[in-house]
Amino acid sequence: MSEQDPQAQTHTESAALIVYRLSQIERTLASLVEQNARLITLEQRLLETREALDRAFKAQKEQDTRVRAIEADMPTLRMVRGWVIAGMLAVIAASGTVVMDTIRKSSLPPPTALQQSRTG
């Protein structure tokens, strides 16, 4: 029986070692599952960020198209703006001329006052 005791003890130690190793494997698997969940979350965030960047670049491209269209029309807009400003200045000058002429005419004595009186 003394020979079986060392075998039984070796068998018990082997079983304990196997149980310990299995528990370590279970902890490692649990850790891997947790890290995998984190990776999935990070991948989802990365995907959302990528989609947001795609939307931003698409919007930027649309804005660039609009800006280029406006830049193409700028020479015409500048020319029309010059015409409008010149027209406004012409209207202001004409109005000033009319006002000055009216003031000049109203400051002159009436034409009857210019006639000499007839004395006999």
Nearest-10 Cα torsion for 71, 75, 78, 79: -160
Q: 2 versus 27: which is more confidently predicted? A: 27
Where along the chain do its domains lie? 4-106
The tokens for 97 are 């001329």
With a cut of 90, say whether residue 25 has pLDDT above it: yes
Residue 16 to residue 10: CA distance in whole angstroms: 10
- Please give the DSSP secondary-structure letter assigned to residue 108: S
Q: 92 versus 11: which is more confidently predicted? A: 92
Tens of pLDDT, residues 53-82: 999 999 999 999 999 988 888 888 888 889
What is the overall mean pLDDT for the chain? Answer: 87
Residue 80 to residue 89: CA distance in whole angstroms: 14
Residue 108 to residue 101: CA distance in whole angstroms: 11
Confidence (pTM) = 0.43
Mean pLDDT of 2-13: 77
